[in-house]
Amino acid sequence: MLGRAVFLIGLGSLAAAQDDPTDVLIRLRDRVLAHAQRIPNHTCVESVQRDQYANVSGLPAATSCDALLARRKQAGFSSTLRLATTDRLNLDVLLASDRELYSWAGAKKFEEGEIDALVTQGAFGTGPFASMLLGVLQGTDARFIFEGDTNLAGRHLFEYSFSVPVGRSRYRVKAGRDWVLTGYTGTILADPSSGELVRFAVRTEELPPETRSCEDQSELEYSLVRLGDDDYLLPKMTRQRFIMRDGSEGENTVTFSACRDFRGESSVNFSRTPGEVKPSGAGPAPVKIPAGVPVTVELTSPSLYSDQAAAGDRIDGRLVNPIRDPLQQTIQVPAGAAMTGRLMRVETQWGPPAQVTFAWRWETVEVDGIAIPIRLNPKHRVSVEPASRGGLQRRGVEIQLPLPGEERYYVSQMQGEPAVLHTGSRSEWVTTAP
């Protein structure tokens, strides 16, 4: 059952009688909840650009979050930050119950596990699709105050503030291996004549030290999106700001596109096995791919440009050499077999010079018209060979460790922005046990 949020009249300017602030907020809430009842029938592509800014002030680290946040308000603060890295993600998002489920764009299953099992690196905030707003307007957790009239781009609006204490909050932040709850505050801008939501902003309380953050901020701008015969209220733009305790900051810009009917198109995966692919169609039993076989895969997708490509994008390839059973020497997968995979990281480190990283994995190979799962590990291009005497290994060989969670990805680095991963590019792999 939907409860009513507590509403207090503050000291803002009073509106005309026909625009009673309580009635406007009730109309806004009812409109949002009506839209929310239909949102679970649709999924959208959530595109995220993540910019990470390094602290280049040269000043000693702030002794507290209060000191750091006060420093951010000083004139010229923006000059103390330098854009360090940029990357992009393309995900499918679905509202289920009171949370959002994610998958890589175009995947057949939504994962029920936590988002950090899918996006293993960098700052990422869930909730902008619907659940963050519903967490404020649904139930009685939030306490609202009318702040008065305001104007945005010449548009007359009502402003409301709200707060949700940690004891009633469902806002979670990753802290090491665990998740912690935090209280938060924010504002809502509403059109008093229509009850339309225009802008929604959220700011967390000071976060515990184990999160390595001082606070997270989100600002969402809303509009109606036409889907079939209905209009749906969705954010047209979301900006999330992550203020870190070391003075660095991250900003995610989130947009939604390609919204479509969910029913009958995908399913929810409760197995917590990311990237699982089931064989489809009738035919012989899937081939068992032996482990330990070196393979070469050639990219057949159109060339990938670093200023356009994103983690989550599908890629296509072909197997250059056949996969043979090492004992029987029979061909299990023929040369030329079509393969599908996915970009897992497309990141630019802003130099000078700029350095671009593409990371990807292969997921399926086609045998007799059936796409079957394949697990590959990248073949390291630098081998440490024993010396000719004494059995000692050769010294001076540079080893670059993969990022945690990227041990199964092939990583290619190149200088210059934009960089291009060309059609026909080849990568070396070794098959592994499923």
Are 358 and 412 in contact by the 8 Å Cβ rule? The answer is yes
Q: Using 50, 70 and 90 to split pLDDT, how confident is the model at 63?
A: confident
Lowest-confidence region among 298-302, 360-364, 399-403, 426-430: 399-403
Give me the mean pLDDT over the 405-428 stretch: 93
Q: Are residues 191 and 233 in the same domain?
A: yes
Q: What is the pLDDT of residues 317-355, one digit of tens each?
A: 999 999 998 888 889 999 999 999 999 999 999 988 999
Give me the mean pLDDT over the 261-265 stretch: 60
pLDDT score recorded for residue 323: 94
Are 90 and 103 in contact by the 8 Å Cβ rule? The answer is no
Q: Using 50, 70 and 90 to split pLDDT, how confident is the model at 157?
A: very high
Domain that holds residue 187: 6-269
Q: Are residues 341 and 254 in the same domain?
A: no
pLDDT score recorded for residue 410: 95
pLDDT score recorded for residue 433: 83
Q: Are residues 196 and 110 in the same domain?
A: yes
> What rounded mean pLDDT belongs to the chain?
84
Does 280 fall in a domain?
no
Give me the mean pLDDT over the 203-213 stretch: 94
Q: Tell which wins on pLDDT, 82 or 9.
A: 82
Q: Of 234, 253, 269, at which residue does a domain stop? A: 269
Q: Tell which wins on pLDDT, 114 or 166.
A: 166
Quick one: tokens of 227?
Answer: 């889907």
Q: Are residues 260 and 125 in the same domain?
A: yes
Q: Is the pTM of this model over 0.85?
A: no
Q: Of 207, 235, 269, at which residue does a domain stop? A: 269
pLDDT score recorded for residue 92: 93
Domain count, the chain: 2
**Measured between alpha carbons, how far is 382 from 161 in angstroms, rounded to an integer?**
58
Inform me whether the pLDDT recorded for 300 exceeds 90.
yes
- Exposed / middle / buried, residue 330 (Cβ in 10 Å: 0-12, 13-18, 19+): exposed
Burial 229-266 (b: 16+ CB within 10 A, else e): eeebbbbeebebbbbbbebbbbbbebbbeebeebeeeb
Q: Are residues 310 and 198 in the same domain?
A: no
Does 419 fall in a domain?
yes
Q: Are residues 299 and 237 in the same domain?
A: no
Quick one: tokens of 311?
Answer: 């983690």
**Measured between alpha carbons, how far is 192 from 24 in angstroms, rounded to an integer?**
6
Q: Tell which wins on pLDDT, 234 or 213.
A: 213
Does 284 fall in a domain?
no
pLDDT score recorded for residue 376: 96
CA distances from 235 to 98, 198, 203, 239, 405 (A): 17, 9, 17, 10, 31
Quick one: tokens of 189?
Answer: 């801008």
Q: Are residues 96 and 161 in the same domain?
A: yes
Residue with tokens 């480190």: 349
Give me the mean pLDDT over the 407-414 stretch: 93
Give me the mean pLDDT over the 307-317 stretch: 96
Inform me whether the pLDDT recorded for 241 exceeds 90.
yes
Does 310 fall in a domain?
yes
Other C-beta atoms within 10 Å of 351: how many?
A: 11
Q: Using 50, 70 and 90 to split pLDDT, how confident is the model at 228?
A: low
Closest Cα partner for 24 from 35, 38, 39, 9?
9
CA distances from 175 to 115, 116, 209, 212, 250 (A): 14, 12, 8, 8, 17
Give me the mean pLDDT over the 390-415 stretch: 77
Quick one: tokens of 400?
Answer: 């670059």
Does 277 fall in a domain?
no
Q: Are residues 169 and 49 in the same domain?
A: yes
Quick one: tokens of 414?
Answer: 């190149």
**Measured between alpha carbons, how far is 369 from 83 in angstroms, rounded to an integer?**
46
Q: Using 50, 70 and 90 to split pLDDT, how confident is the model at 385?
A: low
End-to-end CA distance of the chain: 46
pLDDT score recorded for residue 8: 36
Lowest-confidence region among 115-124, 308-317, 319-328, 409-418: 115-124
Q: Are residues 427 and 371 in the same domain?
A: yes
Are 256 and 49 in contact by the 8 Å Cβ rule? The answer is no
- In this structure, what CATH number is given to the domain that contains residue 198? 2.50.20
Inform me whether the pLDDT recorded for 149 exceeds 90.
yes
Q: Tell which wins on pLDDT, 268 or 262.
A: 262
Q: Are residues 175 and 303 in the same domain?
A: no
Inform me whether the pLDDT recorded for 35 exceeds 50.
yes
Are 339 and 101 in contact by the 8 Å Cβ rule? The answer is no
Q: Are residues 256 and 170 in the same domain?
A: yes
- At 381 the three-state DSSP class reads coil
Does 286 fall in a domain?
no
pLDDT score recorded for residue 392: 53
**Measured between alpha carbons, how far is 246 from 266 in angstroms, rounded to an integer?**
41
Lowest-confidence region among 40-44, 76-80, 222-226, 336-340: 40-44
pLDDT score recorded for residue 40: 62
Q: What is the pLDDT of residues 9-25, one digit of tens each?
A: 333 344 444 579 999 99
Give me the mean pLDDT over the 294-322 stretch: 96
**Measured between alpha carbons, how far is 231 from 251 in angstroms, rounded to an integer?**
29
Give me the mean pLDDT over the 123-152 stretch: 90
Q: Are residues 200 and 324 in the same domain?
A: no
pLDDT score recorded for residue 6: 34
- In this structure, what CATH number is given to the domain that contains residue 365? 2.40.128
Q: Of 269, 303, 335, at which residue does a domain stop? A: 269
Q: Using 50, 70 and 90 to split pLDDT, how confident is the model at 264?
A: very low
Inform me whether the pLDDT recorded for 263 exceeds 70.
no
pLDDT score recorded for residue 301: 97
Does 233 fall in a domain?
yes
Does 119 fall in a domain?
yes
**Measured between alpha carbons, how far is 14 from 12 in angstroms, rounded to an integer?**
6
Rama region for 272: left / alpha / beta (φ>0; ψ in -120 to 50; rest): left
Contacts (Cβ under 8 Å, ≥6 apart) of 138: 2, 33, 36
